[in-house]
Amino acid sequence: MVDVFISHSSQDTQLARQVVDLLRSSLNLRAEQIRCTSVDGYRLPAGANTDEQLREEVLASRTFISILSPSSLSSVYVLFELGARWGAKKPLFPLLAPGMGSQSLRGPLTGLNALTCETAGQLHQLVSDVGETLGIHTEPPAVYQSDIEAILYSGYSEANQDAPSPVGQLPSGVGTANLEDDYSEAEHAIRRHCERQWPNDYQMRSYCTKQQREALDILKQGRPQDIPEEVFAGIRNKCALEWPNDYAMRRYCEQQQFDSYRELERESE
């Protein structure tokens, strides 16, 4: 019987394959320990009774990862697999696909802590949680770093994002302890971001560059007077890590956070 069952929609085959690669490299799993029906090498055996074997493996697998996307949440098979596993009260790890928030979950799924494949920290947690359940020590992070980045890059690409900065390397503009920001690489990041977004449309690339530079000028103004330094530092780092190569979205992220902080402060008065 398999150790890891990956429930997913056939529309999410690329992400499922990347998750398989991550688990194999991080936990040193063999192919026969993983069931992922849309990925070659991990499909059901030829001649198997599909419904019967899937029913058995959904319940008997030691860990169950469900990739949650709009496609999977509209798939009858995926919903049956989720329901069966949830009802069996066995280890279940929901993994949100790019663009999916926890607010997308309905019914019993809302009571489960879902991880997202859009942040490195939560992908590392997935590896750690699966390893702990299986009783397997994880490999050093350097062994599977490229698999983490492959998932992150895929997620940013689908959201029309540039590739994120490598894990462990802070992107340009992340505030240090004394809030002195370094934008020395900003112009290069802007050019690279806009070239990737608009490779063959020079008019839109020019507009993108202008938009990014205007946002960068606002970011360089630093902390608003009504935002405490420690709050500002947290917001700046959060938004820089979420939008490492898109200054327009980083500025928007910060503004939303500032406005929410101000509203909470008014309510507490």
**pLDDT, tens digit, 9 for 90 and up, residues 64-93:** 999 999 899 889 889 899 999 999 999 999
* Sequence-separated (6 or more) residues with CB below 8 Å from residue 72: 7, 8, 9, 11, 12, 66, 78, 97
CB 38 within 8 A of CB 11: no
Helices 202-220, 186-197: crossing angle, 10 deg rounding: 150
pLDDT bucket at 155, cuts 50 / 70 / 90: low
Average pLDDT in the chain: 85
Q: Residue 236's closest CA among 247, 225, 167?
A: 247
CA atoms of 179 and 123, how far apart (whole Å): 29
Average pLDDT of the residues in 128-155: 86
Does residue 158 have a pLDDT over 50?
A: no
Does residue 98 have a pLDDT over 90?
A: no
Does residue 139 have a pLDDT over 80?
A: yes
Q: Pick the more confident residue, 209 or 184.
A: 209
- Residue 202 has a pLDDT of 86
15-29, 64-78, 90-104, 144-158, range with the lowest pLDDT: 144-158
Residue 34 CA neighbour count, 13 Å, CB half = 25
Q: For the chain, what percent of residues have pLDDT higher than 70?
A: 89
**pLDDT, tens digit, 9 for 90 and up, residues 105-117:** 777 777 788 899 8
3-class SS at 185?
coil
CA atoms of 189 and 129, how far apart (whole Å): 35
pLDDT bucket at 181, cuts 50 / 70 / 90: low
Number of H helices, E strands in the chain: 10, 5
Long-range pairs of 41-49 with CB within 8 A, sequence gap ≥ 24: 42/6
Q: Which domains does the chain have, with CATH numbers?
A: 4-158 (3.40.50.10140), 186-268 (no CATH)
* Sequence-separated (6 or more) residues with CB below 8 Å from residue 128: 138
Does residue 160 have a pLDDT over 70?
A: no
CA atoms of 134 and 80, how far apart (whole Å): 24
11-20, 71-80, 198-207, range with the lowest pLDDT: 198-207
Q: What is the pTM (predicted TM-score) of this model?
A: 0.59
Amino acid, res. 79 = L
Q: For the chain, what percent of residues have pLDDT higher than 90?
A: 49
